[in-house]
Amino acid sequence: MSEPTAQPLVEPLVQAQAEVAELLSDLIRIDTTNTGSTATSAGERKAAEWVAAKLDEVGIPSQIFESETGRASLVARIPGQDRSKPALLVHGHLDVVPADPAEWSVHPFSGEERDGYIWGRGAVDMKDMDAMVLALVRDWARTGVQPPRDIVLAFLADEEAGGALGAHFMVDEHPDLFADCSEAISEVGGFSITVHDDLRLYLVQTAEKGMGWMRLTVGGKPGHGSFVHDDNAVTRLAEAVARIGNHKFPLTLTPPMREFIAAVEDAYGIEIDAAEPEVALARLGGLSRMIGAALRNTANPTMLEAGYKANVVPGTASATVDGRFLYGQEEEFERQLDSLMGEGVRREWLVHNPAVETTFDGPLVDQMVAALKAEDDGARPVPFTMSGGTDAKSFQRLGMRCFGFSPLRLPPDLDFAALFHGIDERVPVESLKFGIRVLDRFLRNA
């Protein structure tokens, strides 16, 4: 009797790199627009079920949880070699901000592949990371790879509206799923800035600003629009909004940004004035807007609401302001706001999430650095503070160290920062393949 012929093993990562673009395109085509209200949002349920099906194809079980009808998050666990070790959380969100097709070169939910890029809403925020992680763990399941410790996967709802119906809900209602996770990685970190052909800075997010979305309301005396009014709610609100919107908050250099500035000085061979770092950081191009916002607290008026008829002075007027504060600056930020609002202006928090910060050290960071350098010998990883917010704000409540590590080697001329919530959002296919290789090296050793 002849011996059975051994089946050849699938070569690691070949299929993952081959399918990641298609996975991303398919996920972009699932409209998960988050307007901030379940009534008008598309919902994440269809995307969560799609992810569950892709995991089930390779034998990875998962669970779907709904906070409200259609607002679904998915959790799965990849068993590690040593189940006694703390687990690592890898999380991403499934929702996206709205997009107007009339403003785009391609339809924002087409997932079109063109000129070496995948185009569509969510291509960089953050269905690219979702697709890379999904492609990688599917490849691991096919090739028999087992990470050194458990990896918990979370694909979440509602991040774009502060996470109340996604990560926040999961932490409040299902903390047991993450109880043994000591660290977490997610979006907006690990991407490159080209200094020159042989040197690229890779920004790893170790901190993010807190979110203080607020409604400002002013009451006044209503009346006929033709009369003289010395108590006009719209006027007083407009004055408060103008003071806040025009105010430049004082410079505050947090530890991650001090490290980032030192790295820029060394990489570019320049000296940066600590009193006016934005001047030198302008050489980072479009990214300087994101970096500059991480050097101080910010407050930007975004919405106004008042009145119902041209000839009627309304009794109330309100404005929505997007406030962001640095780690350790929450109380100071509120004092700054109070001094700008003036008398008679009432503030109500719509979303109030803490700032998050950790240090750029330890075994997990060492593995990030090693994985990036193994795939790019010109890589120099550096920490930074992100001006926006992520679901890390929820998971840090469980005691996790949270990092932004969604690795992408980017073309030198790509204005990456402008693509977040921007028009013609897109990501290079080669960057996705690079990200899979880095994540594979990192997660095999993390």
The candidate with the shortest Cα–Cα distance to 34, out of 93, 82, 90, 81, is: 93
Give start-end residues of each CATH 3.40.630.10 domain in the chain.
14-207+356-445
The set of residues, in sequence order, having a beta carbon less than 8 Å from that of 399 and lying 6+ positions away, is 182
Phi and psi, residue 397, nearest 5°: -65, -20
| CA–CA gap between residue 131 and residue 24 (Å, rounded) | 5
423: confidence class by pLDDT, cuts 50, 70, 90 = very high
Give start-end residues of each CATH 3.30.70.360 domain in the chain.
210-353
DSSP 201: E
Instruction: Kindly provide the b/e burial profile for residues 311-337, where b requires at least 16 CB atoms within 10 angstroms of the residue's own CB.
Output: eebbebbbbbbbbbbbbebbeebbebb
DSSP 109: T
Asked if pLDDT for residue 10 goes beyond 60, the answer is: no
**Where do we find the tokens 């992408």?**
408
Asked if pLDDT for residue 1 goes beyond 60, the answer is: no
pTM: 0.92
**Where do we find the tokens 């960071």?**
365
DSSP 387: S
| β pairing state of 210-219 and 345-353 | antiparallel
Question: pLDDT by residue (tens digit) across 234-248?
Answer: 999 999 999 999 999
Q: Specify whether the CB–CB gap between 19 and 101 falls below 8 A.
A: no
The CATH number of the domain covering residues in 14-207+356-445: 3.40.630.10
| β pairing state of 379-386 and 199-208 | parallel
| CA–CA gap between residue 419 and residue 187 (Å, rounded) | 14
**Where do we find the tokens 């409540």?**
397
Can you tell me whether residue 319 is helix, strand or coil? strand
Burial of 124 (0-12, 13-18, 19+ CB in 10 A): buried
The candidate with the shortest Cα–Cα distance to 262, out of 383, 356, 385, 409, is: 383
Question: pLDDT by residue (tens digit) across 91-149?
Answer: 999 999 999 999 999 999 999 999 999 999 999 999 999 999 999 999 999 999 999 99
Please, what is the Cα angle at 362 between 356 and 367, to 5 degrees?
105
Can you tell me whether residue 92 is helix, strand or coil? strand
Question: pLDDT by residue (tens digit) across 70-94?
Answer: 999 999 999 999 999 999 999 999 9
Asked if pLDDT for residue 424 goes beyond 70, the answer is: yes
What's the Cα-to-Cα distance from 397 to each of 17, 325, 393, rounded to whole Å? 35, 18, 7
286: confidence class by pLDDT, cuts 50, 70, 90 = confident
The CATH number of the domain covering residues in 210-353: 3.30.70.360
| CA–CA gap between residue 313 and residue 315 (Å, rounded) | 7
State the pLDDT at residue 282: 83
